[in-house]
Structure 1
Amino acid sequence: MSPATDAATLATRRSSRFVAWVRAWRAGLVPYDEVAGEVAGDEEHLVADAPGTWTDVPLGNALAALSKLSPDEIRLVLPAPGDPRGLPGPGPFTGAALTAGEGVIARDLGLVPEVRTHTSGSGVTFETVLWRVYPLPAAPTAAGAGEPSAAEAEAELAAALAEATATLTRLDIAQWRPELAGALAALRRPDGATDLPPGFDPRSRRLFARASVLDRVLALAGQAAPGGAVNGYEAQQRDAALRPLTTACRRALVAACNAPLAG
């Protein structure tokens, strides 16, 4: 796999991991002490505006604000312009989630991750992830409203992937995006970064693993082709082919992360 492809398959949406692991914790399936580490991985995660705090705090400290929630009150949202499904209506959280393309609803709180880049005095650049907490309306969107089941999302994703693959083959996408061939192969061998915590059934695990890798492949496909190898018309054709697949992929991630947990 090329370096560009490998990079595209490293980052999972932070909100999806947050929801999956926090829901498993609230179901009593993983210990509190493990949650922050599983969500953050090798990144530094801080939380701003968490209830009861006056400054940014480590993620582990802020999770206490969610300790009285049930798993089904914690939901993943992956909105996009023109597709605000899952959002509670106009407000600061909705705007931030649309900008980021992701967010977490936790009863009357919304959380959105922001990646911040810092430069040390010696010139070293590094990143931190800041989860900003927003108060939500008294009656946010009902849990699961408008979401497909894992079975429905899996069928939608398979159909969209087959259609997009056929279209991109006709467009000869490999000619100007050759690293996509290697990235698509990763769909058949998801790694540990695409695994869900205990409590999720096999279908949800399979769906999350496939959609997570595909989500990262789509991020790569959406980048400008190296050396200007694609013209405006070809880019429009590519985008039209990938748009339904991108939507199906987002719906699959939401369905997998918000699926009912086994006790």
Structure 2
Amino acid sequence: MPCPSATMVVWTSAWLHGAAASDDMLDALQTWAESQEVLAADEELAARLDLPGPQETPAGPALLLAALRKADAGDGQLVLPVPGDARGLGGMSPFAKLAMRGGEAVVLPRAGIGLVPQRIAEGILRWTVFGIGDLPPAEHLPIGEAEHGMASAMREAATALIDLGVAKHRPGVREEIAQTISARPVPPWPEGVPQRTLRILQRATEVEAILWVATDDAPGGALSASAIRGRTEALRPLFDAVRAARRASVAEMVRVIGDHAEKP
């Protein structure tokens, strides 16, 4: 599903390339929380970017935009780490640990900074800015390959669940899936992003909703421990494919925004 970090990556790229106004970017971020606040993870970074440090009162998101401009941030990357897959984090630094805990982050390689969002209270989202140094180059996955991978993983997961005997009818499952999807914020995207990437993101949202419902055992219908292990193994490739599709879609949006900005 879309996440605050995906919104930050795409809109930062659009804003820095002159394809979106700062107000539009701030409005898009507000999709995730009415109040947004920003602070630097350490005093040295705070002084370099003119941001409040970890012991100071957080600033508003407008100050983050000024810091990104000052740092010459350039195009960002979406990172979606999970236990066992820390790609894009470059080791277990404080940045990596917080990103792993939240399952998402923004990497801005040219500026050498990373951003991690945290929901610290109802309606309040905090962005912590870290210095990250040099990280390995981001893995490139063509958008078509990501889309195909998600479709293939879904077919294989369905077959595996049937073979395991844990794919069964569940009354009201369509309503559960629809409610899971409708409960997620729907952020706007900058003008000109490819429609294909939006369709893939929407499909990823639908598939992930199915996954969460599939792994939420109804009362009285608990599976055996071995069945749960089998289901987890069967669904893991699909969870991975959904994350890959989301990263590839965001990367393609950023690429297209940059390409359009370079045209005379």
The bucket for the TM-score relative to the shorter chain is: 0.7 to 0.9
Q: Which runs of 5+ in 1 are unaligned?
A: 1-10, 118-125
Say if 2:3 is the partner of 1:13: yes
Equivalent in the alignment of 1:105: 107
CA deviation vs aligned residue, 1:20-46 (integer Å, no higher than 9, x gap)? 222222232221111122122161221
Q: How far apart are 1:229 and its partner, in Å?
A: 2.8
Counterpart in the other structure of 1:33: 23
2:39 is aligned to 48
**Cα pair 1:109 1:133 within 8 Å, conserved:** yes
Is the CA contact 1:150–1:252 (under 8 Å) kept in the aligned structure 2?
Answer: yes
* Structure 1 position 239 matched with structure 2 position 232: yes
> Once superposed, which parts of structure 1, at least 4 consecutive aligned residues long, lie more than 6 Å away?
185-189
For residues 84-233 of structure 1, the aligned pairs below 5 Å read 84-107=86-109, 108-117=112-121, 126-137=122-133, 139-142=134-137, 145-170=138-163, 171-175=165-169, 178-182=171-175, 193=186, 196-227=189-220, 229-233=222-226
What displacement does 1:67 show? 2.2
- The alpha-carbon deviation at position 180 of structure 1 amounts to 4.1
1:201-229 residue CA offsets vs partner (Å, 9 max, x unmatched): 23222212211332344344444543453
Q: Distance in 2 between matches of 1:67 and 1:136?
A: 17
For 2:30, the aligned partner's letter is A
Alignment-mate amino acid for residue 29 of structure 1: A
Gaps (5+ residues) in structure 2?
Answer: 41-45
Call closer, same or farther: CA 1:180–1:246 in 2, change over 3 Å: farther
Q: Deviations over 1:34-63 (max 9, x none)?
A: 112212216122112163122311223312
Q: Any idea what the Cα deviations from partners look like across 1:183-211, whole Å, max 9, x if unmatched?
A: 5579999x981664323223222212211
Larger CA deviation: 75-84 vs 217-226: 217-226
CA deviation digits over 1:228-255, x for unaligned, max 9? 5333222212211210000011111101
Q: RMSD between aligned alpha carbons?
A: 2.9
Secondary structure in structure 1 of the residue aligned to 2:51: coil
Whichever residue aligns with residue 95 of structure 1, its letter is K
Partner of 2:82: 80
Q: TM-score normalised to the size of structure 1?
A: 0.78
Amino acid at match of 1:14: P
Q: Percent identity?
A: 31
Contact between 2:37 and 2:61, CA under 8 Å: does it hold in 1? yes
- The count of residues paired between Structure 1 and Structure 2 equals 239
Structure 2 counterpart of 1:47, one-letter code: V
For residue 89 of structure 1, report the CA deviation from its aligned partner. Answer: 2.9
